[in-house]
């Protein structure tokens, strides 16, 4: 599809870059975090600076009978925003960030990152459990559910989305919450890239900040994987409610020795409370750890820095994930993923999800979870290594997915593998809402293998890797 000739009449200041323009290529992929960038070419890119630009762009797409895609932070591993012959609305220059001290509600535009949001909230003694990586935009993160800070205890970030402002597929600006446009409010909390509209503003309920953050870590040799992970997967089930728990396999500092790290970060308001929370792990951890620390002072900003170092810019990524069945032998299922990393910058992560995974969730699209979240983050630098690294991920997932109940949208690529992303009832309801709100598939939605899912969306079924 070529740009229309003559070009539609638009306001002189309207920030659009048509395919073939000098700035087009930068606008197309300049903000795509994953440098394994796609060979897909939008009809045009609109670098929206105001809400009106978003409305106008959707109306233009309707006039031209083309699709619309949207980019918040650009951190989608599969670059869902870059779609052939669509108008890509890039929100990177559209900023809105405010906080109401009476209601403790933050109003946030989609491109605002977790670091930006919590920097502001910190001045008011508040926080929001946003994405762990500092440059992840709130938009994509919240729409797909939001596996944020201490999710195992505090719950999903989308549970704290009180409302959204949305430009619908026909270009109408509406507000959605539990009282009005309730169907879109349901979808906005867990639909991910399948949301049938473009969110322009989130209303987020914040939490009180914690004045004393401390961490404990225990590093084990690869040979001690089973000992370390057996310990922490059992200990985590009913651990302290303000403590986040992960296990990570990596090559620390780019060294030659693979290590399995168990990390606990506790959010408290005194040294005494923090020590009490972490002492349980300190007293029970298996012997033989080769490194570690206890009661190390930390902060959200420090944790953001560590996450940024683990997810370096200018690199190529291949990612996949699974919620492992609670009845599976979790330690065995994850062993190969933890002990055979393909590059020194790659890492495998287990994230403890109980007790959040065991309680009823609000009425929202997000509905897939288990006690055990496994994610593979394969990181490399050169295109000639693509096949080997992608092959490693596929090889691991061939076994893992057979012991899984589904997957998290944020670390998925529907072009490669489809599985269950919602409960059966919630998935059916979401696809019905998509068809009712966007019957023509104006909003691009889920990027499957041929990008033709349209208004039908995803089947929400396992499709085993071959």
| Beta-strand relationship, 44-47 and 16-18 | antiparallel
Nearest to 177 by CA among 193, 165, 168, 167: 165
CB-count burial class (<10 Å; 0-12, 13-18, 19+) for 114: buried
Domains along the chain?
16-90 (3.30.43.10), 97-208 (3.30.465.10), 212-411 (3.40.462.20)
User: If DSSP states are collapsed to H, E and C, what string results for the chain?
Assistant: CCCCCCCCCCCCCCCEEECCCCCHHHHHHCCCCCCCCCCCCCCEEEECCCHHHHHHHHHHHHHHCCCEEEECCCCCCCCCCCCCCCEEEECCCCCCEEEECCCCEEEECCCCEHHHHHHHHHCCCEECCCCCCCCCEHHHHHHCCCCCCCHHHHCCHHHHEEEEEEEECCCCEEEECCCCCHHHHHHHCCCHHHCCEEEEEEEEECEECCCEEEEEEEEEEHHHHHHHHHHHHHHHHHCCCCEEEEEEEECHHHCCCCEEEEEEEEEECCHHHHHHHHHHHHHHCCCCCCEEEEEEEECHHHHHHHHHHHCCCCCEEEEEEEEECCCCCHHHHHHHHHHCCCCCCCEEEEEECCCHHHCCCCCCCCCCCCCEEEEEEEEECCHHHHHHHHHHHHHHHHHHHHHEEECCHHHCCCCCCCCCCCCHHHHHHHHHHHHHHCCCCCECCCCCCCCCCHHHCCCCCCCCCC
Could you tell me the two tokens for 372? Answer: 């055990």
> Which one, of 167, 109, 102, 105, lies nearest residue 142 by Cα?
109
- Return d(Cα 181, Cα 353) in angstroms, integer: 31
Query: What's residue 125's pLDDT?
Result: 96
pLDDT value at residue 357: 96
pLDDT tens for each residue of the chain, 466 residues long: 889 888 888 888 999 999 999 999 999 999 999 999 999 999 999 999 999 999 999 999 999 999 999 999 999 999 999 999 999 999 999 999 999 999 999 999 999 999 999 999 999 999 999 999 999 999 999 999 999 999 999 999 999 999 999 999 999 999 999 999 999 999 999 999 999 999 999 999 999 999 999 999 999 999 999 999 999 999 999 999 999 999 999 999 889 999 999 999 999 999 999 999 999 999 999 999 999 999 999 999 999 999 999 999 999 999 999 999 999 999 999 999 999 999 999 999 999 999 999 999 999 999 999 999 999 999 999 999 999 999 999 999 999 999 999 999 999 999 999 999 999 999 999 999 999 999 999 999 999 999 999 999 999 998 877 5
Neighbours of 398 (CB within 10 A): 13
CB of 117 within 8 A of CB of 137? Answer: no
Contact by Cβ (8 Å): 126, 141 = no
Q: What is the CA angle 68-91-112, rounded to 5?
A: 140
> According to the model, what pLDDT value does residue 406 have?
97
For residue 289, which of 310, 307, 263 has the smallest C-alpha distance? 263
Strand 372-380 vs strand 347-352: parallel, antiparallel, or unpaired? Answer: antiparallel
What's the rounded Cα separation, in Å, for the pair 154 and 236? 14
Q: What's the rounded Cα separation, in Å, for the pair 109 and 140?
A: 11
| 448: its two tokens | 């499957």
pTM for the full predicted model:
0.96
454: left (phi over 0), alpha (psi -120 to 50) or beta: left
CA distance to 208, 251, 325, per residue, from 322 (Å): 31, 22, 9
Instruction: Return d(Cα 335, Cα 438) in angstroms, integer.
Output: 43
Structure tokens at 194: 């399948």
Q: Which residue has 């790290």 as its token pair? A: 261
pLDDT at 283: 98
Place of tokens 């052939």: 84
In whole angstroms, what is the distance from residue 411 CA to residue 317 CA?
11
- Answer yes or no: are the C-beta atoms of 393 and 129 closer than 8 Å: no
Q: Which residues of 323-350 are buried (b: 16+ CB within 10 A; e: fewer)?
A: bbbeebebbebbbebbeebbbbbbbbbb
């Amino acid at each position: 599809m070529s740009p229309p000739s003559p070009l539609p009449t638009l306001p002189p200041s309207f920030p659009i870059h048509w395919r073939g323009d000098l700035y087009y290529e930068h606008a197309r992929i300049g903000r795509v975090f994953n440098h394994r960038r796609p060979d897909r070419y939008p009809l045009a890119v609109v670098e929206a600076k105001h809400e009106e630009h978003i409305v106008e762009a959707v109306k233009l797409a309707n006039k031209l009978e083309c699709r619309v895609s949207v980019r918040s932070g650009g951190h989608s591993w599969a670059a869902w925003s870059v779609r052939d012959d669509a108008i890509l609305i890039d929100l990177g220059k559209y900023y809105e960030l405010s906080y109401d001290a009476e209601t403790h509600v933050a109003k946030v535009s989609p491109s605002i990152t977790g670091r930006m949001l919590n920097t502001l909230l910190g001045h008011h003694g508040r926080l929001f459990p946003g994405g762990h990586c500092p440059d992840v935009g709130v938009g994509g993160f919240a729409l797909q559910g939001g596996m944020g800070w201490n999710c195992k205890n505090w719950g999903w970030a989308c549970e704290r989305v009180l409302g959204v402002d949305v430009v619908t597929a026909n270009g109408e600006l509406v507000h959605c919450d539990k009282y009005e446009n309730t169907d879109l409010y349901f979808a906005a909390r867990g639909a991910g890239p399948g949301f049938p509209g473009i969110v322009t503003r989130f209303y987020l309920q914040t939490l009180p900040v914690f004045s004393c953050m401390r961490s404990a870590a225990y590093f084990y040799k690869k040979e001690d994987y089973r000992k370390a992970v057996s310990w922490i997967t059992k200990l985590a089930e009913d651990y302290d409610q303000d403590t986040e728990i992960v296990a990570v396999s990596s090559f620390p500092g780019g060294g030659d020795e693979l290590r399995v790290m168990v990390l606990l970060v506790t959010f408290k308001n005194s040294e005494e409370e923090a020590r009490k929370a972490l002492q349980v792990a300190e007293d029970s951890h298996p012997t033989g750890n080769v490194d570690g620390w206890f009661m190390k002072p930390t902060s959200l900003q420090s944790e953001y820095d560590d996450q940024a170092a683990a997810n370096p810019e200018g690199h190529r990524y291949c990612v996949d994930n699974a919620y492992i069945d609670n009845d599976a032998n979790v330690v065995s299922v994850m062993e190969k993923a933890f002990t055979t990393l393909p590059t020194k910058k790659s890492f495998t992560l287990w994230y403890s999800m109980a007790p959040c995974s065991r309680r009823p969730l609000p009425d929202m699209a997000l509905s897939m979870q288990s006690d055990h979240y496994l994610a593979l983050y394969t990181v490399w630098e050169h295109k000639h290594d693509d096949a080997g690294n992608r092959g490693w991920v596929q090889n691991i997932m061939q076994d893992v997915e057979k012991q899984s109940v589904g997957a998290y949208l944020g670390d998925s690529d529907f072009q490669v593998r489809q599985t269950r992303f919602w409960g059966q009832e919630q998935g059916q309801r979401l696809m019905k809402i998509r068809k009712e709100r966007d019957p023509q598939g104006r909003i691009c939605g889920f990027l499957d293998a041929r990008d033709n899912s349209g208004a039908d969306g995803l089947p929400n079924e396992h499709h085993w890797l071959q």
